[in-house]
Structure 1
Amino acid sequence: MISPLDFIADLTNPALAFLPRALLVAALSSALCGLVGTHMVVRGMAFAGDAISHAVFPGLAISFVLGGSLFLGGVIGGVAVAVIIALFAQRRVVGEDSVIGVFFAASFALGLVVLSKSQAYAGSLASFLSGSITGVNTRDIVVTIIAFALIAFVLAVLHHSMVLASLDRDMARAAGVKVLVVDLVLYVAVAGAVVVAVHTVGNILVLALLITPPATARLLVHRLVPMMALSMTCGVISSVIGIYAAWSLDIPAGAAIVLVSTLLFICAWALRPLRALRKV
């Protein structure tokens, strides 16, 4: 295992230019997922997050096969499935969780079928499912920065409406908030965060970046804005330590990031009794 000082030296080594790029994209992706995921944790939408993370897969696969924009394809796929789920759930004949389960499984299966038509099926499948942080290029960095800025701006503009919709949907409607529009905007933001994070942890583990840092923050703070800030911080810390562990121990970067994030959650859970004693 290399020391932290050796890791810093590797980050400045021109021959290892992919390493700082990987670290930057991992940190930005985790921060973005922490920001978006805060709303999902507050709303209790963990299962919906899993659905959207799978829903972007066919869009990514189609874009990959056609040589188009992965980001755009993933967002379109996520939004399309989100709209379908919203429409089917309106009838209330089948529970929303059941509708989500049906369509996220179908989306993932469709992505596998599309990707199987690619000549590089095995390699591209492994990249989508497990991430390929070492393959990050300059364009990925630019897309990540733009997505982060755009999604953060939209969430900031709609912050009040999203908080109302999260706390009391009937009150939000009475206040003139278009709840369905707010929900769709959040789904789009989640889809964008998932597409950005696919490079980091892959399609399988991306839910962990959306849920674990916000869940950790919720154990420590109760107000939404501090929760967002702490969630983003936990995501960045997980990425930095995870990339370091992956580079040192030669393990998958995505898995290392998720495990570090889980360890932070366990530490926060252990600190809760101490915080309760201080209030007595």
Structure 2
Amino acid sequence: MFEALQYDFIQNAIISGVLVSIAAGIIGSLVIANKITFLAGGIAHSSYGGIGLAIFLGVPVLFGATIFAIATAVIISLLTLKNRNRIDAIIGIMWAFGMALGIIFVDLTPGYNVDLMSYLFGSIIAVSKEDLIYLVILDFFIITLVLLFYKEILAVSYDSEFAQLRGINVKFFYTLILILAALSVVGAIKVVGLILVIALLTIPTYLAEMFVKKLSSMMILSSIIATLFTLIGLCISYYFDISSGASIIVVGVISLLLFKFLGKK
């Protein structure tokens, strides 16, 4: 693996993997704490509509996916905040609509022949300098907002009713968490793809929960675990010439099962 470090695409893959892991660790902790895993999954798959729209309009894919994902997050927030009984139906509709819309836009794009599988399952070796800039900005944005509003996010995540009584704008911070999840999903497109991104957001946090209970500690440990999964998955992908996204997730699932088994013992 060390001899491969001389190649720019390998360097970009490692850097992007670490940057995505930081975002995944922080946002994954919020996703688990707020019990919105299904919502994050719905946003992830809905983002495919933004990819298709970007391809159709001829704009950068990350830009189209970002705008679409943020819009989806806001819509889901408005529809689910006070209508939790219908949350599964709402997510299912948004999920299907986004995927269908993306497919239609791609079909309508004349002469488009790029492999869309890379967006669904990731293609970390195709990460560009522009993607790295996006990920650096994303991590800076997430870390800054979490540091600024940690107390409010903590209160909303664990007891929204108490937070509201304390005068915290629950609707705003609930929407903010969903938007940050949407941005993290877009950032992880090239690393693990839209299909597998929810696993990268949740598996490291499930593991971190076994060792820490404090939200801030969970964010840090989840980021470290996600980074380890990513680097190990990249090594396996390189040596066996298999999909990097799938390798990363398989490493994560096996690790989770192993620790669960050892925990019971």
TM-score interval for Structure 1 and Structure 2 normalised by the shorter chain: over 0.9
Farther off after superposition, 83-92 or 208-217: 83-92
Farther off after superposition, 260-269 or 163-172: 260-269
1:128-173 CA-to-partner distances (Å, cap 9, x unmatched) read 1121211112111111111111111112211111110111111100
Give % identity: 28
Matched, 1:108 2:99: yes
Residue of structure 1 in register with 2:173 after alignment = 182
- Say whether the 8 Å CA contact 1:115–1:121 is kept in structure 2: yes
Structure 1 residue 120: Cα displacement: 5.8
Farther off after superposition, 102-111 or 231-240: 102-111
Structure 1 residue 122: Cα displacement: 5.2
- Say whether the 8 Å CA contact 1:213–1:232 is kept in structure 2: yes
| Pick aligned residue for 2:189 from 184, 195, 198 | 198
- Number of aligned positions between the proteins: 265
Matched, 1:89 2:83: no
Unaligned runs of 5+ in 2: none
- Say whether the 8 Å CA contact 2:20–2:188 is kept in structure 1: yes
Provide the secondary structure at the position in 2 that maps to 1:198: coil
1:35-84 CA-to-partner distances (Å, cap 9, x unmatched) read 10101111211101101111222112212332323333222212222222
Structure 1 residue 188: Cα displacement: 1.2
Unaligned runs of 5+ in 1: 1-6, 275-280
Residue of structure 2 in register with 1:50 after alignment = 41
Residue of structure 1 in register with 2:246 after alignment = 255
In the TM superposition, what are the counterparts of 1:1-280 in structure 2 within 5 Å?
A: 7-11=1-5, 13=6, 16-89=7-80, 92=83, 95-119=86-110, 121=112, 123-273=114-264
For residues 272 and 122 of structure 1, do their structure 2 counterparts lie closer, same or farther at Cα, with a shift above 3 Å needed?
farther
Larger Rg: 1
Provide the secondary structure at the position in 2 that maps to 1:38: helix
Cα RMSD (Å) of the superposition? Answer: 1.8
Farther off after superposition, 80-89 or 215-224: 80-89
Q: CA separation in 1, counterparts of 2:220 and 2:12? A: 23
Q: CA separation in 2, counterparts of 1:219 and 1:122? A: 45
Amino acid at match of 2:161: D
Amino acid at match of 1:158: F
Q: CA separation in 1, counterparts of 2:63 and 2:148? A: 22
For residues 121 and 255 of structure 1, do their structure 2 counterparts lie closer, same or farther at Cα, with a shift above 3 Å needed?
farther
Amino acid at match of 1:104: W
Amino acid at match of 1:243: L
